[in-house]
Amino acid sequence: MKMNILIERRIIFTVLFIAVALPLIFPIGWKTEVSGYTQMVYDLIESTPDGKVGIISFDYDPSTMTELQPMGEAMIEHAFKRNQKVILTALWPMGVQMAEQALETVLKEYPDKKRGVDYVNLGYKVGGMVTIQAMGRSLSEVFPTDSRNTPYSEIPMLDGITRLRDIAWISSLSSGVPGLKEWMMVARDSHDVPVTGGCTAVSAPGFFPYVNEQRQLTGLLGGLKAASEYETLLGRLGSATAKMDSQSIAHLLILVFIALGNIKAYTTKRRKG
Amino acid sequence: MAIMTTIGIWVAAFFTLCIFSFLYKDNPFYKFAEQVFVGLSAAYWLVYIIYSIMIPNLFAKLSSDFSGNLILLIPAALGVMMLMRIHPKTEWISRYPISIMIGTTAGISMLRYMKSDILQQVTATMINPFASGSVPVIIGNLLLIIGTICGVYFFYFSKKQEGISKWPSKVGIWFLMVSFGATFGYTVMARISLLIGRLEFLLGDWLHIIK
């Protein structure tokens, strides 16, 4: 039977649609193996002493929140679990709302954590790399107030935190520019602060070379799978884990489609030749 | 509030389906959703730039302490000069802020990229591959060194690659192919994640089929 290429495309989309939807409705519960890069991210926060302050920068907007939001939630939870304090910030305007949303989710399990004492949202700042450079000199100059207009000097957890070097670790959840690379170039390569983070799967191969002997990046969370691995390490059944069944089924299906496509191309070539 | 949320969810579901309808074929619903998106994005950014960038960083500071923030008049003037592009007769004025921007960006980026993308990356390849004593790590280190050298050699075009000198280039191609394959795999994962996100919204927030 000869099929129109447009019909074939529609069949592929429909099958893929069903294959992704079904595991969301009927979860399978496949386990995720933890990769070395995710373990490095986890170990960085895990090995940081209690009371230290870390920065999580929400450098994305809602279009990539499926992949990056679970990472943000898991990292905030990890910091809280280890009694560390977190500064939330954003190099993307909508990152502020993403940070607040992630906080809201985590605070349901940690209701005793207080704004200004255990966490603070410093909000968005325009400028990308230049802003990070300025943070290296003075955080209060870049962020005179937090996102709720509380002056920097009146935020208890920021007492003694004047510049980037006072920060234990920085994590950027990034879906483009400015983002993880800018944090790495300034905070790690110039101020020697450990930088880690997460990115969308599509940009992960571009970041892997920075996880190297020089520790330009201390581990990397690449896409939804890495987010689910992080949740596994935390012992948390988060949103990334719930979505991994769909991801796995879709990947298997695409492998089948690629194989079928190759067989079809081969047979067509033989018939013509 | 609950009503507004419900309306918001229905509107979002409608536009999601409009965009998905393109998979069947191009149609007026898709075009409508596309145009609304473009218009909304432009409006959102305009409002955001005024309220989140211009007012707090310029107008608020100048109105509260004008003499103490005189330096802000320089970027303000450059911004106004940039707007001169709107009219063909005054377009030339915008060249000055553009040239300042390009010069500053190039200056800042050159140092940073030189350090992070060249010096640090090259240093990370200059390692003793046998130092760890663990076989998988040694193999990984050797692949890193061979892959880097052969990959860079592939882009050496000053001499025709023939005879024995073509082999490192061929090895380089293999490493590049593997990296393209990995990139494709990750791209698939990213796109499927987007689909999962939308389906989770449709099945969860909209239809309440999943929790």
Domain interval for residue A13: 5-26+248-272
pLDDT of residue A5: 81
Q: Is residue A153's pLDDT more than 70?
A: yes
- What are the pLDDT digits (tens) for A9-42? 899 999 999 999 999 999 998 888 999 999 999 9
pLDDT of residue B125: 92
Say yes or no: A22 and A88 in one domain: no
pLDDT of residue A6: 82
CB A193 within 8 A of CB A78: no
* Chain A residues close to B203, C-beta within 8 Å: 21, 24-25
- What are the pLDDT digits (tens) for A167-182? 999 999 999 999 999 9
- What are the pLDDT digits (tens) for A175-204? 999 999 999 999 999 999 999 999 999 999
- What are the pLDDT digits (tens) for B144-167? 999 999 999 999 888 888 888 899
Q: Is residue B200's pLDDT more than 80?
A: yes
Say yes or no: A182 and A261 in one domain: no
Number of continuous H segments (helices) and E segments (strands) in chain B: 8, 0
| Minimum distance, in Å, between the CA of residue A269 and any CA atom of chain B | 24
pLDDT of residue A177: 94
Residue contact A205–B179, C-beta within 8 A: yes
Say yes or no: A181 and A146 in one domain: yes
Q: Is B53 on the interface with A (CB under 8 A)?
A: yes
* Chain A residues close to B112, C-beta within 8 Å: 129, 185-186, 189-190
Inside any domain, residue A242: no
CB A202 within 8 A of CB B192: no
Inside any domain, residue A97: yes
Q: What ipTM was assigned to the predicted interfaces of this complex? A: 0.90
Percentage with pLDDT > 90 across chain A: 90
Residue with the larger pLDDT of the pair A272 and A2 = A272
Query: What is the distance between the alpha carbons of residues B80 and B138, in angstroms, rounded to a whole number?
Result: 58
Q: Which amino acid is at B87?
A: H
Q: Is residue B101's pLDDT more than 70?
A: yes
- What are the pLDDT digits (tens) for A68-105? 999 999 999 999 999 999 999 999 999 999 999 999 99
* Mean pLDDT estimate for chain B: 93
Inside any domain, residue A233: yes
Out of A166-170, B2-6, B56-60, the most confident range is A166-170
Cβ within 8 Å of residue A169, ≥6 positions away: A44, A45, A48, A52, A54, A55, A193, A194, A195, A196, A218
Say yes or no: A82 and A164 in one domain: yes
Inside any domain, residue A257: yes
Say yes or no: A74 and A152 in one domain: yes
Confidence band, pLDDT 50/70/90 cuts, at residue B46: very high
* Residue ranges in A109-222 assigned as alpha helix (H): 129-137, 139-142, 180-183, 204-207
Q: What is the mean pLDDT of residues A261-271?
A: 92
* Chain B residues close to A214, C-beta within 8 Å: 120, 123-124
Q: Is B140 on the interface with A (CB under 8 A)?
A: no
Count of domains for chain A? 2
pLDDT of residue A35: 95
CB A12 within 8 A of CB A257: yes
Phi, psi of A170 (to 5 degrees): -125, 135
Give the range among A129-138, B51-60, B177-186 with minimum mean pLDDT.
B51-60
Burial of B11 (0-12, 13-18, 19+ CB in 10 A): exposed
Say yes or no: A74 and A19 in one domain: no
* Residue B157 structure tokens: 């075009």
Query: What is the distance between the alpha carbons of residues B138 and A71, in angstroms, rounded to a whole number?
Result: 31
Percentage with pLDDT > 70 across chain A: 99
Query: What is the distance between the alpha carbons of residues A33 and A57, in angstroms, rounded to a whole number?
Result: 26
Say yes or no: A21 and A40 in one domain: no
Inside any domain, residue A31: no
CA distances (Å), origin A234, targets A43, A99, B142:
11, 19, 33
